[in-house]
A and B are shown apart, each in its own frame.
Chain A
Amino acid sequence: MTQAQNQVKVLQGITPQCIPYDELFSSNQPVLLKGLVKDWPLVKISQNNPQDVMSQLEQNYSGRPMLVYKGSPQIKARFGYNEACSGFNFDSERSTIPKVFDTIRSQLNQDEHDYLYINSLKLDDGFPALNSAHQLTFDHAEFENNSPVAKIWLGTESIAAAHFDQPKNIACCVLGKRRFTLFPPEQIHNLYPGPMSPTPGGQVVTMADLNEPDFERFPKLQQALDSAYIVELEPGDALYYPNMWWHQVQAFDRFNVMVNFWWMTAEPHMGNPMDLLMHGMMNLRDRPAAEKKAWKVLFDYYVFGDANTVREHLPSQSHGAFAAMDEQLARRLRAMLLNNLNR
């Protein structure tokens, strides 16, 4: 991979109790929090004896089955699509921690081995006794109605193709080396996004292999790589990155553990903007260019522009949908939209 020019901001000496959220949020960039969770019990164990992390997890396992992605040696850690993009190059199956760990252990000394990946398992569901000792303090106004939940990611080497998420994220590396390759949202133009459905993990992913770029097929990928932020996490390190940023996540060791925290900042009455995109494709995209241009202006005025501009010249009782969106107004608009959509 070509080396990116961008330097990721690094904060040293931060503890889970004193995360400078205002500083994190103000940069609107990824920030490496070096050694943030170095005192988490699992991290301490991982630095003394990595094998013990597995047994710690096994001992604290709730017994609840979970979904596991399982890929053959041929996928080379890359969990992605099959040739036709109609499905995936891995199977997902219900399994348990002992079964998954036994498979990983039995193949530890093999060069060719299966790739197993448990992703985004609620820590409290999988390992309830570990939940309280592996937390961060969320004491910013942003968390008042959006309390983040710890999720754990376990498995062999893995590469999750670059995608964006709607929640903000703090990812904490517990065991194994993990590399995040991040792109600002506008890099979508150079990232060759795949289908909206199906997707390997719920989000649209890039079709390009960032590690072995095929510039003939994906010529603009070079521009994306030039603007990438690359961060390597050692156990104990954490990474904050803004929502909507594209990121590929690669785990390098034979067994890797990460715990992350996601939180949405939108009010719960707000729907999923992906629905808005889909609606746009259905109703706007295939209209004549001049018409689309006019709609773009309207969207800029009504949606992307300053909300006040739209309403300040009007008496407040006539604001309707222009008013600040609250639960009641959203209910009214939802009823209207449901009615309009059903045709």
Chain B
Amino acid sequence: MSKATVLNNIDHKGVKVDTQPSLYKNEHVNRSMIYVTEIGELHKEFPLVFYKAPDSDKGQLQLHAILGLEKDENLFLGVNGWNSRFVPALLARGPFSLGYKKSENDDSDDSEQAAPVICINMQDSRVNTEQGEDIFLQYGGEAPYLSYVKKALQTIENGIKFNQTLYALVEELDLLEPVSIQIKLSNIEEVNFNDYYTVNQQKLAQLDGEKLARLSQYGVLSLLYFVLSSMGNFQQLTELKNAKSAMF
């Protein structure tokens, strides 16, 4: 059970986050949910695919970055941390999350929106006061690690809204097809990509001008091509996997 408290530079003075991967098993995952707002970066490194839970007919679509080929295998995680240039925001945020605070009634313009505040889960195994990344600078300023986390949290915050736009459009225009990649790891092992979908390139290419204009207007058209081209990263994934196997 995670319990988040609002982060502040007085109560959490001196608190550090140890980002050593060995401390946090939740980073040892073979996929991560990602957000539309990070496709532009993540497609350069990870295979990005749509996922639909099989247990319901109207299952909500998700976008996933594939990180490994076996259970709990994250091929981008080295002994000292991530080897990739980019990290999915959901994992980059560490023990932090966004909460919403009812804005205090200020003098005039009553902003109806609750202001987002950064929360920290103090029970998280990475949180300590001994070693790792400082959250705050010596006199309470924002340390670089906190800036990094903030960026990840913003990616998530903005992505939650835009994900729905993407999902609605790809379903409406029927642009998805099952992932047909088959990866044979050994004679007995084969990786299964049931329930995963990617963009049907042919259907996308055959959309009429009006539909293409709509995709473009919503900023989705380029994202679909990014997702499509990210399939090439499966090659890198198998190379990482083979390199790792070769070491043993």
A binds B: yes
Contact at B110–A66, with CB atoms within 8 Å? yes
**B105 touches A (CB below 8 Å):** yes
What's the least CB distance linking B155 to chain A, in Å? 22
Residues of B within 8 A of A122 (CB): 109
What's the least CB distance linking A96 to chain B, in Å? 13
Contact at A198–B104, with CB atoms within 8 Å? yes
**A219 touches B (CB below 8 Å):** no
Contact at A67–B110, with CB atoms within 8 Å? yes
**B107 touches A (CB below 8 Å):** yes
Contact at B137–A67, with CB atoms within 8 Å? no
Would you list which residues of chain B between 95 and 137 have a CB under 8 Å from chain A? Answer: 104-110, 137
- Compute how far the CA of A342 lies from the CA of B144 in the bound complex, rounded to whole angstroms: 10
Partner of B139, one of A66, A92, A198, A343: A343
Residues of A within 8 A of B107 (CB): 120, 201-203
Smallest CB gap from B138: residue in A: A343
**B141 touches A (CB below 8 Å):** yes
Would you list which residues of chain B between 131 and 177 have a CB under 8 Å from chain A? Answer: 137-139, 141-142
- Report the number of A-B residue pairs with Cβ-Cβ less than 8 Å: 22
- Compute how far the CA of A92 lies from the CA of B104 in the bound complex, rounded to whole angstroms: 10
Question: Interface residues of B toward A: which range?
Answer: 10 to 19
What's the least CB distance linking A343 to chain B, in Å? 5
Residues of A within 8 A of B106 (CB): 202
- Compute how far the CA of A343 lies from the CA of B107 in the bound complex, rounded to whole angstroms: 30
Contact at A341–B141, with CB atoms within 8 Å? yes
Contact at B105–A343, with CB atoms within 8 Å? no
Residues of B within 8 A of A92 (CB): 105
**A247 touches B (CB below 8 Å):** no
Smallest CB gap from B140: residue in A: A343
Interface string of A91-129 (1 = CB under 8 A from B): 010000000000000000000000000001010000000
Partner of A202, one of B108, B137, B141: B108
- Compute how far the CA of A151 lies from the CA of B107 in the bound complex, rounded to whole angstroms: 12
Contact at B108–A342, with CB atoms within 8 Å? no
Contact at B105–A342, with CB atoms within 8 Å? no
Residues of A within 8 A of B109 (CB): 122
- Compute how far the CA of A150 lies from the CA of B142 in the bound complex, rounded to whole angstroms: 39
What's the least CB distance linking B200 to chain A, in Å? 45
Would you list which residues of chain A between 197 and 216 have a CB under 8 Å from chain B? Answer: 198, 201-203
What's the least CB distance linking B77 to chain A, in Å? 30
Residues of A within 8 A of B105 (CB): 67, 92
What's the least CB distance linking A12 to chain B, in Å? 31
Smallest CB gap from B147: residue in A: A342
Would you list which residues of chain A between 38 and 88 have a CB under 8 Å from chain B? Answer: 66-67
Smallest CB gap from A66: residue in B: B110
Contact at A342–B110, with CB atoms within 8 Å? no
Interface string of B54-67 (1 = CB under 8 A from A): 00000000000000
Smallest CB gap from A340: residue in B: B141
What's the least CB distance linking A202 to chain B, in Å? 3
Partner of A151, one of B104, B108, B137, B139: B108
Smallest CB gap from B141: residue in A: A342
- Compute how far the CA of A342 lies from the CA of B150 in the bound complex, rounded to whole angstroms: 15
Nearest 6 pairs of A and B residues by beta carbon: A202-B107, A342-B141, A120-B108, A343-B141, A202-B106, A92-B105
**Further 17 A-B residue pairs, CB within 8 A, beyond A120-B108, A342-B137, A343-B139:** A66-B110, A67-B105, A67-B110, A92-B105, A120-B107, A122-B109, A151-B108, A201-B107, A202-B106, A202-B107, A202-B108, A203-B107, A341-B141, A342-B141, A343-B137, A343-B138, A343-B141
* B interface, CB within 8 angstroms of A: 104-110, 137-139, 141-142
- What are 6 A-B residue pairs whose CB atoms fall within 8 Å in the complex? A92-B105, A120-B107, A201-B107, A202-B106, A342-B141, A342-B142
